[in-house]
Structure 1
């Protein structure tokens, strides 16, 4: 693929819109400390479908096999996001994962956490956004290929699982009772 074709992909409308939504998602998670659970779930349940749509619209491109994207998210960054979300969601963080391939061979479903799912998505997207922010077109192109491939193989399913669990949190009858208690 020549340089102009790569530039076309890097600066295409679909790619730029994905970068925008991914950056917004990452910033929102980074600034979630102290938010109310209901406000958080309301916003994230709007961001996740948009993120999924924008990722699905990315071009399916071949990246270089020897490209290793830079990891900008440290273990401390990841844990900060995960622990912040875990504290925010409290006992509502855990959910049963029936979509996991391992469940087929087990008597019990896997217990997962929304906070870890969102932190996993955050890590993939933050690394992508930071690569994009640097502005080296060759790396930007490779980052698009990498993030789309990771979407197909991993974080797209993780996103849908988290949405299902967040939907339960947001629209459960207990959530309505919690809101009534906050008002009094």
Structure 2
């Protein structure tokens, strides 16, 4: 019992829990944001979440069964739809880091809203178990979250970060129109 207590109360775990809870809260309130504000905050939160997840101490499952989950299909879908609404026409992006890509002659389209909802689902389930405060289930939730980060949502996070960077910093048609007007002013 003492060993799992040391791991789940490790400073890096506590910091990850703090950032993960903030990330979940941010996504749950996303529909109240404008796209620019949402993207700007996401570009700050996601790297921090990745950093804190990468610093988690390794631990193995103690129990025979995975802890219960919190996020239902309905909760997932509502969140995904809210995020898609915020992202609007900037929700989709081409993903090149997909194993199926080698079998396809067409680019694979992904959605920022779906990727964020996938990350949220894993992290919210983890936070839910941590809030219960039972050491063994907290330990197992940490082991599952750490494994899923390495195998699944860590890559989704960096892919989504790349897509969000594009949304935030890529020149838009409005920028091109403004540049064209500036060029016309200089000619006159």
TM-score by length of 2: 0.90
Name the structure 2 match of 1:52: 50
Q: CA distance change for structure 1 residues 65 and 141 in 2, over 3 Å: closer, same or farther?
A: closer
1:99 to 82, 97, 106: 97
2:33 aligned counterpart, secondary structure:
coil
2:30 aligned counterpart, secondary structure:
coil
Structure number with larger C-alpha Rg = 2
Q: CA distance change for structure 1 residues 59 and 11 in 2, over 3 Å: closer, same or farther?
A: same
1:172 to 170, 173, 180: 170
1:95 aligned counterpart, secondary structure:
strand
Q: CA distance change for structure 1 residues 163 and 176 in 2, over 3 Å: closer, same or farther?
A: farther
Query: How far apart, CA to CA, are the structure 2 residues paired with 1:65 and 1:97?
Result: 36
Q: CA-to-partner distance for each residue in 1:7-52, whole Å, 9 max, x for gaps?
A: 0111110000000000000000000113110100000110000000
1:99 aligned counterpart, secondary structure:
coil
After TM superposition, give the deviation of residue 65 of structure 1 in Å.
6.6
Check whether the contact 2:63–2:136 (CA below 8 A) recurs between aligned residues.
no
Check whether the contact 1:125–1:147 (CA below 8 A) recurs between aligned residues.
yes
RMSD between aligned residues: 1.4
Runs of 5+ unmatched residues, structure 2: 179-188
Q: CA-to-partner distance for each residue in 1:71-122, whole Å, 9 max, x for gaps?
A: 1011111111100110110110000010101101110121010000000000
Name the structure 1 match of 2:65: 67
